[in-house]
Amino acid sequence: MNKKKLIIGGTAAGVILVAAIFGFVFLKGHSSGSSDSGDLVYVDSVTSIMGLGSGTGQLNRFAGVVEPQKTVTIKQSSDKKVKECYVKEGDEVKKGQKLFIYDTSEAEENLSSKEIEIDRIKMDIETYKSNIATLQKEKANASSEDQLDYTVRIQSAQNNQKKSEYELKSTQQEIEQLKKSIQEAEVTSEIDGVVKSINNSSDDSAGYSGSSSDDSNAYMTLLSTGHYRIKGTINEQNRTSLNEGDAVIVHSRVDENQTWKGTVSTIDLEHPEENSDSGYYMSSSSSSDTTSSSNYPFYIDLEDDSDLMLGQHVYVEKDEGQTENREGLWLTSYYIIQEDGQDPYVWAAGRHDKIEKRKVTLGEYDEKLDQYQITDGLTEDDYIAYPEDSITEGEKVTKNIEDIYGNSDDGSDGSMDGGVDSDVMNGSDDGEIIGGSDEDVMPKEAGSASDMINSADDNMPDEEDYPDDSADDSAGSMPDGAAETGDRPASAE
């Protein structure tokens, strides 16, 4: 029994020793990481800052689509019917070309009726005039008792004459409108373009419209040819990113280097769009934010629309001079610290990934972009930090935000359960352990975990050291099979 207890005790001691070593590694790594992670300084590459115009690596871009410079909608008159349509969807049309003609048979009948009515009204007016003249002569020879009666009769005739004259004027206006309607029965195109759609069920009021915001009720929609514009969509959360009159750059989705320049002509805040797919392209907003807010269309007039295709999808960004070819390295002014009596400097990642003050020599200043040319002190391969007041020289830097959370306890970053870094467990030296080197976490004097296990096995008592006391099996600590066969650890053989 004592022999078995010694075997079990020796094995347990080895397990406890190994567990203690791993516990030391775990606590050391986490305590080091937690103590230093707050002192890390996040740095961005000069290349990304120069290329994207932002230290966050983001650039406001909006999706857009090429559409005709002008969209013409023709609405059908509510009191007319289309007699014949001369074109069909997809036809190309020229300015002045006949598109369709209204049925004028009813208007022509009304015109004839009104012309007859005009003759009647004119005759009534002449009759009233004649009666008034007769009554005035009779009144001059009438007695004083009859004067009042003639006065009333003359005034009544004059009122009837005025009513007839008003009716005549009103009827003449109706005739002019009928004549105009008949003359304009043929509708012609105002532009060179293409017939986009024909809606035979439309019965809205007549007229041309240059707006494309709602052509669902139009009888016919025409798209102009020859010149294009860009239609984009802006979200209410980044509404201030663009304003009417802003210069923009349009990028091809196929070839990033193929660009066009233009100006924001209109931002239509009166007609928000629903379920738009052409909103913010690069944004720090989450998808849940953008889906719960409104999108508004905006339009861009292009300086040159060569090589663009109708319906082509593009990206739009504000023109901040980023496409201009400028010599040297240019940096936004807020990265550069200029204090009285000191040379300008930036916070840069130095040797051993420690933050340091790096003196820079300034050249030209671009007032439009608020950028300085850096003639000495920095290269495109350097990494710099946003100048926070909390930065202290000598603090450690990180070039990837994930490094800060590399030892999180949830194991989501690929570490083992409990948050132990897999590099520590398997002896890999790839990457950096936050809070110190591998040597800091596992001192050389302690040795590896496998060395500790072998050392524990080597110190196990030999077989002859165990007293022969196999009669006492009451503890039941060893499996029955092991007790009967006398199984022992390999190191005890």
Q: To 10 degrees, what angle do helices 449-458 and 2-37 make?
A: 160
Which of 93, 67, 379 shows the shortest CA–CA distance to 231? 67
Place 430 in a pLDDT band, splitting at 50, 70 and 90: very low
Q: Tokens 């598109």 correspond to what residue?
A: 99
**Residues 435, 33: contact at Cβ < 8 Å?**
yes
| Rounded Cα gap, residues 413 and 255, in angstroms | 36
Q: Which of 59-68, 126-135, 199-208, 472-481 has the highest mean pLDDT?
A: 126-135
Q: Residue 58 — very low, low, confident or very high, per pLDDT cuts 50/70/90?
A: very low
Contact 167, 121 (CB under 8 A): yes
Read off the pLDDT of residues 246-290 as tens digits, 9 standing for 90 and up: 999 999 999 878 999 999 999 999 888 875 444 444 443 334 444
CA distance 316 to 322: 13
Tell me the pLDDT of the chain averaged across its residues.
74
170, with CB counted inside 10 A (0-12, 13-18, 19+), is: exposed
Report the candidate in 103, 116, 118, 153 with the shortest Cα–Cα distance to residue 133.
153
Half-sphere exposure (Cβ direction) of 187: Cα atoms closer than 13 Å:
26
- Within 8 A by CB and 6+ apart from 275, the residues are none
pLDDT (tens digit per residue) in 102-122 = 999 999 999 999 999 999 999
Rounded distance between C-alpha atoms, residue 259 and residue 253, angstroms: 10
Residue-wise pLDDT for 218-228, tens only, equals 899 998 887 89
Alpha-carbon distances, residue 469 vs 1, 463, 472, 486 (angstroms): 5, 12, 7, 12
Whether the predicted model's global pTM rises above the 0.85 cut: no
